Structure 1
């Protein structure tokens, strides 16, 4: 099952420049990574199926055959959230902006992975997840966990793809969807494979028996980034697959990515999935700023993960603030690499802290299903179990560090 981006738009950096009190108009708050003339329009929750079709037909008619703009490009439908993207000129956009069905308009922007640096030796993150107290000067790390280890659960990893044949995954990793090019096999960048290894690898993973579904939204655009609409298409695919297979209570969507702005569309999509019973775990971001200004880090209906160093201090690059839910290891994390089936890489970033918590969510779902049967219950359990007050310089973020109960859960 595939979704496809027709062609990446020409990239640039301009502001949206719209002022209107009619719908909520989103702009790129700091002028970063805007794709000119490409927009995402969120519709009001109460729109009927008939009204939706009438609206879409009307919008497409505005573009006309003589317009240089493409018109409507993609549509999304997750729970109560209805939205579409398109390429529109100023005149067309002005008409869309005044339509009663429109809730929000925002520029499409580039979204990137949240990797900070790459190195080539060491690991300690699993020990941190399974110990409230640990020997900081000890190089012999141990990970204590229950043998259920995420068995029967599913990780939907929206990323650069996964080398599914890697030895770390023992045949548990499959290709779910490819948003850039259906002919791309595996992971051209290494980021998604590393994330998957931390989440569910046999050696480096938190949930060592979980199944991995790769949703490749980056293709080979490892550092350039891709438009918001590609991320949303991948997210829609993951939600649709989870609901079609009845996996809401045993799945997590893991997103080690983000844009340098708040996105109404991304936040609404994740909220809609939450309302369907699907939990998403997201990266806080790597700019050392308040995560409230980033998406999807700012969405309340997700678990937003910030990074710590080996000494339990907030990593200097990690975003912070009240939008953060929890901390996890994010510096010098060793995991699977993409160059061959035994390769390893060491990476740092909130991209690396995120799969520690995504894996922990699946570990807890496998071990304690009655306490994790809804997103709200899962988050409450995750936070109740967390180690409190040990993160240095949490900077207005809840001082909670991910913890798995040391094999035997004791709240």
Structure 2
């Protein structure tokens, strides 16, 4: 498989006022409040002639720009899946698609996606703690290094995911935060019209849990910012798809996707195309970790949580129960700490502050960090091997209120088998 380019702008689902002749609209019926006006994702049939695809895109681009729109904003070319993102009036797109039905498989409306709602446990920023060791470390780190709850020390192998790239598909990262020790870098920005920096704080907090010196699971991992969300924590499904595709391409050029991890702590309604992108990324070997969502709902109703190849993570509370807000169900692979999680905090006055958030957005990075940790420690390669290791080593049958989810709690094997 060859990964060549990515997508653009964040999407979800919605209905449009017409059908493109026989080309099905995959997300018809979605709330109009979620639709990005005049923005569409068009996917070709698998055997569509490349020359005809190119001619079609030139036509769309020209007519879109003639209508004072962006035309073809970006292409999607990932494995056997080919398509493009267009900004064009609906009536114009309808006419062009109707003339190329032999090549077009389906059309989706671009829709909005957001970070899952998070609860700020303490409005007050917590001052950076000067841990010499991980004695009395964050409770989430302690929990994943012991079979039983109630411990306060984080025990871990000092290889710490060194050299493993973890891509944070989120609001960006405050790369100069002291807890990152220079290991956090900017990768790419797909949140159109925004600076490369984190303006929200969500991505910085997530990155801290993955690989921060004090707050992180894999304390030597490389953290790569893939910005897809703006200051409000919102974006589009298209931007998320583009971000994941770019991460795979970048990983291929930096040691191989089979040694890379992609954290996606965000979500929207169930979207088959996004799930397909996740599955293709996993096919390249990348380990994709997704937040289950904070709706107290079946994760099957949300994406990318419902992607079959993702490691979907639910939130655990300090009582070893499913957090009241956490999504659940058979598609949740594992649970990790997601209540009152202390990590790196975005601040305008300091680059060394921390704060506590709750959410499956906070649980997922524990697993992304654990994935990087195991890749380095055990010499693993590929998403299947990493997923199996995380599931096989999990603490079983202690989770309360699982609501039909597998009763697995993440564990790093540090204090015994």
Q: TM-score range by the shorter chain?
A: 0.7 to 0.9
> How far apart, CA to CA, are the structure 1 residues paired with 2:393 and 2:352?
34
Calculate the aligned-residue CA RMSD, in Å: 2.8
Structure 2 residue aligned with 1:227, among 236, 257, 263? Answer: 236
Alignment-derived partner of residue 111 in structure 1 = 113
User: Which consecutive aligned stretches of 4+ in structure 1 deviate over 4 angstroms post-superposition?
Assistant: 2-5, 11-14, 17-24, 61-64
**Secondary structure class of the residue paired with 1:307:** strand
Question: Deviation of residue 352 (structure 1)?
Answer: 0.2
Question: Deviation of residue 227 (structure 1)?
Answer: 2.0
Greater alpha carbon shift after TM alignment, 390-399 vs 121-130: 121-130
Q: Provide, for residues 247-294 of structure 1, a one-character-per-residue CA deviation record: whole Å limited to 9, x for no partner.
A: 3232101111111x1223211211111111112111111111111111
Residue 318 in structure 1 maps to residue 322 in structure 2: no
Alignment-derived partner of residue 36 in structure 1 = 37
| Count of paired positions | 395
> How far apart, CA to CA, are the structure 2 residues paired with 1:41 and 1:389?
44
Are the equivalent residues in 1 in contact too, given 2:7–2:75 (CA < 8 A)?
no
> How far apart, CA to CA, are the structure 1 residues paired with 2:322 and 2:175?
32
Residue 390 in structure 1 maps to residue 398 in structure 2: yes
Gap regions ≥5 residues in structure 2: 127-136
Alignment-derived partner of residue 361 in structure 1 = 371
Alignment-derived partner of residue 200 in structure 1 = 211
Are the equivalent residues in 1 in contact too, given 2:395–2:410 (CA < 8 A)?
yes
> How far apart, CA to CA, are the structure 1 residues paired with 2:65 and 2:118?
44
Alignment-derived partner of residue 53 in structure 1 = 54
Question: Deviation of residue 62 (structure 1)?
Answer: 5.6
Q: In the superposition, relative to structure 1, how do residues 391 and 366 fare at CA in structure 2: closer, same or farther (>3 Å)?
A: same
Q: Spell out the pairing of 1:247-266 with structure 2 (5 A cutoff).
A: 247-259=256-268, 261-266=269-274
Question: Deviation of residue 24 (structure 1)?
Answer: 4.6
TM-score, normalised to structure 2's length? 0.86
> How far apart, CA to CA, are the structure 2 residues paired with 1:13 and 1:278?
26
Question: Deviation of residue 58 (structure 1)?
Answer: 4.2
Q: Spell out the pairing of 1:50-129 with structure 2 (5 A cutoff).
A: 50-60=51-61, 63=64, 65=66, 67=67, 69-95=69-95, 96=97, 99-120=101-122, 123-129=138-144
Residue 131 in structure 1 maps to residue 146 in structure 2: yes
**Secondary structure class of the residue paired with 2:303:** coil
Are the equivalent residues in 2 in contact too, given 1:158–1:254 (CA < 8 A)?
yes
Alignment-derived partner of residue 342 in structure 1 = 352
**Secondary structure class of the residue paired with 1:378:** helix
Are the equivalent residues in 2 in contact too, given 1:123–1:332 (CA < 8 A)?
no
> How far apart, CA to CA, are the structure 2 residues paired with 1:30 and 1:397?
27
TM-score, normalised to structure 1's length? 0.88
Q: In the superposition, relative to structure 1, how do residues 28 and 295 fare at CA in structure 2: closer, same or farther (>3 Å)?
A: farther
Q: Provide, for residues 43-87 of structure 1, a one-character-per-residue CA deviation record: whole Å limited to 9, x for no partner.
A: 23333433431332343456472x365432221122222221123
**Secondary structure class of the residue paired with 1:25:** coil
Q: In the superposition, relative to structure 1, how do residues 238 and 128 fare at CA in structure 2: closer, same or farther (>3 Å)?
A: same
